[in-house]
Structure formats: C-alpha cells, structure tokens
Amino acid sequence: MQADAQEVKDLLARASLPTSYVIKDVDAFYEHFFLDKKSARGRITFILPQGMGNYKMVSDIDASVVKKVLATFGES
C-alpha cells in the first residue's frame, strides 16, 4: 500500500499538482463533506482505495474517527 501511495504522489508531482494539504479548521472542513453528492441523510459515503485500481465504499464511519484523521493534516 505504501508503494502505491508513493506512486500516486510521484505522478501528481510530475504533473505539478499538490501532494500535501493543511487543514486549519477540522470541524469546518468536516462540515463541507455534507455539501458533496456522496452525502445523504446525515451520512457521508467515502470511497477508500484498496490498492491500485480497487476501492471500497464505506458510509458507517463515526464522525470522531473522520475528524481524528483530518486532524493529522493540521499545521505542524
């Protein structure tokens, strides 16, 4: 999985696209998920990579878990 992540990061870098992002306000960022078409009835459907070319759709992730992950993108 780490090799796949590095491959994607390298592809983005070669295309001069950003490879990192800083989230300054986790709660506000989280609330914006509900503007996406993959959210309905107070639930967010995430498309999670499962290796190159594979994915898993998940909509039962608790908000506290999502916010904890988002916090890892905060300013260092």
Q: Which two tokens stand for residue 5?
A: 């992540």
Name the pTM for this structure. 0.71
Asked, for residue 10, whether it belongs to a domain, the answer is no
Looking at the DSSP bridge assignments, the partners of residue 39 are 44
Among 75, 47, 76, which residue's Cα sits nearest to residue 61?
47
Element housing 30 (H / E):
helix 26-32
Asked, for residue 70, whether it belongs to a domain, the answer is yes
Asked, for residue 29, whether it belongs to a domain, the answer is yes
Asked, for residue 67, whether it belongs to a domain, the answer is yes
Asked, for residue 72, whether it belongs to a domain, the answer is yes
Tally of domains within the chain: 1
Q: What is the pLDDT of residue 27?
A: 93
Q: What is the CB neighbour count within 10 angstroms for residue 66?
A: 16
Per-residue pLDDT tens digits for 2-53: 888 898 899 999 999 999 889 999 999 998 888 777 777 778 889 998 888 8
Q: What is the pLDDT of residue 43?
A: 83
Q: What is the pLDDT of residue 35?
A: 77
Q: What is the pLDDT of residue 76?
A: 55
Q: Which domain holds residue 45?
A: 20-76
Residues sharing a CB contact under 8 Å with residue 19, sequence separation 6 or more, in sequence order: 9, 12, 13
